[in-house]
Amino acid sequence: MESYDLVTIGGGLGGAALARSMALAGAKVLVLERTTEFKDRVRGEVLVPWGCEEADKLGLYEMLHESCGHELVWWAGVFNGAQVLQRDMRTATEQSYPTLTYYHPVMQDLVYESAALSGADLRRGVKATGVTLGQKPRVGYTVDGTRCEVEARMVVGADGRSSAVRNWGEFEVKHDEQRRYFAGVLMDNHPAPDDTMTSYFVPDEGLMSWIFPQGNGRVRTYVGFAFDGDIERLSGERDIERFIAAQIRSGVPKEYFETAQPAGPLATFDGTDNWVEHPYKDGLALIGDAAATGDPTWGQGMSQTLRDVRLLTEALAGDDDWESAGHRYAQLHDEGHGHVHRADCWYTDLFLDTGAEAEARRARAVPKLLEDETRLIDTPLGGPGIPADEAGRRRMFGED
């Protein structure tokens, strides 16, 4: 049986970045990736400032920035058709980074190839079939109809929001209440300002849109809407017009769509947060969306993935006892995810919840926020180092 220090199941951003960093640290690493090529799907393509710092700590930021990244300097906020926010993200947080966008398949190829160049063993077109936990965990997989098995000091599930590895490890998954859907599509020939990410809110309808330019007229654009609202799930070419109508309804200028054309699939997914408490046991760790999938409305997913990669790399590189290191990683993951999750929920409560109570909450909080932007809990831009605690919530909600 082949033996490795580390086996990652999934070769996307999390799995490939971890393979790269661990290979550079001297570990023998295997990556098992199901797809034979990375294709466009509706997914996050936004690395907010604190995520850019995480990428820098992993040695990835310069590669992404120079090869496929596009800088967004400004964050503009539009409420009920009126712009009320314009922030320079380079000065809004301690990290002093912009937000970085990129076309996801190109980013994945770059990080995947970087893992190979760093010495990791990569195998594509592979279907993982199960994990056996223990002191020497094992992974079963098939390739070209052949059944194989490898063992490792640690196995890492990096297989996304519908993680099979999480199920094989019998981790208990926790969920928030289902509140929102999130739909997205890639568009070309889009005239939105090239250096600005813009969020459009219609709070009393629970409706919002995001526009994230990627340069040269290409944007990834999204609509978020209430689970129990009047907009049905959007999917495929037949629903492009309904998607555009929802964007215009949220405040996106109608003239943007005189030239913009879809350049990828349209799909909707459930925005409900789900997570695993303490994502490590018996030689199996979870990272990225397999460990915690957040509401994409607030764009924290890829940043949290890179934080997981850094935390696990540092834990394993600094301790010969990988069982102890795995538990330390899980504890640090939970602490950071707790702050990000609470902040995201509070943003949704304040800006997208509907009903009389929500309207009263906004009437109290929004005037104070417009007078003093420091009342915002900046965790979505600044990361889990900015605590989402009760004092911050009361200040953000105008209760102090």
Taking only the tens place, the pLDDT of each residue in 125-144 is 999 999 999 999 999 999 99
d(CA 211, CA 41): 17
Q: In this structure, what CATH number is given to the domain that contains residue 252? A: 3.30.70.2450
Q: Does 166 share its domain with 280?
A: yes
- Residue 322 exposure: Cα atoms within 13 Å on the Cβ side: 21
d(CA 290, CA 182): 19
Q: Would you state the pLDDT for residue 42?
A: 82
Q: Does 283 share its domain with 319?
A: yes
User: With pLDDT > 70 as the criterion, what percentage of the chain qualifies?
Assistant: 100
Q: Does 289 share its domain with 265?
A: no
Q: Does 165 share its domain with 306?
A: yes
Q: Does 109 share its domain with 154?
A: yes
For all residues of the chain together, what is the average pLDDT? 95
Domain boundary residue, one of 293, 322, 342: 342
Q: Does 202 share its domain with 145?
A: no
pTM of the full predicted structure?
Answer: 0.97
Question: Do the Cβ atoms of 149 and 136 come closer than 8 Å?
Answer: no
Tens digits of residue pLDDT in 289-316 = 999 999 999 999 999 999 999 999 999 9
* Structural domain of 213: 180-270
Count of structural domains within the chain: 2
Q: Would you state the pLDDT for residue 95?
A: 83
Is beta strand 207-215 parallel, antiparallel or unpaired with respect to 82-88? unpaired
- Inside any domain, residue 98: no
Q: Does 263 share its domain with 224?
A: yes
Residue spans of the chain under pLDDT 70: none
Q: In this structure, what CATH number is given to the domain that contains residue 312? A: 3.50.50.60
N residues, the chain: 400
Q: Does 195 share its domain with 335?
A: no
φ, ψ at 315 (rounded to 5°): -65, -45
- Inside any domain, residue 191: yes
Give how far the C-alpha of residue 164 lies from the chain's centroid of Cα atoms, to the nearest Å: 19
Q: Does 206 share its domain with 170?
A: no
Q: Does 237 share its domain with 312?
A: no
Q: Would you state the pLDDT for residue 43?
A: 79
Between CA 264 and CA 271, with CA 266 as vertex, the angle to 5 degrees is 130
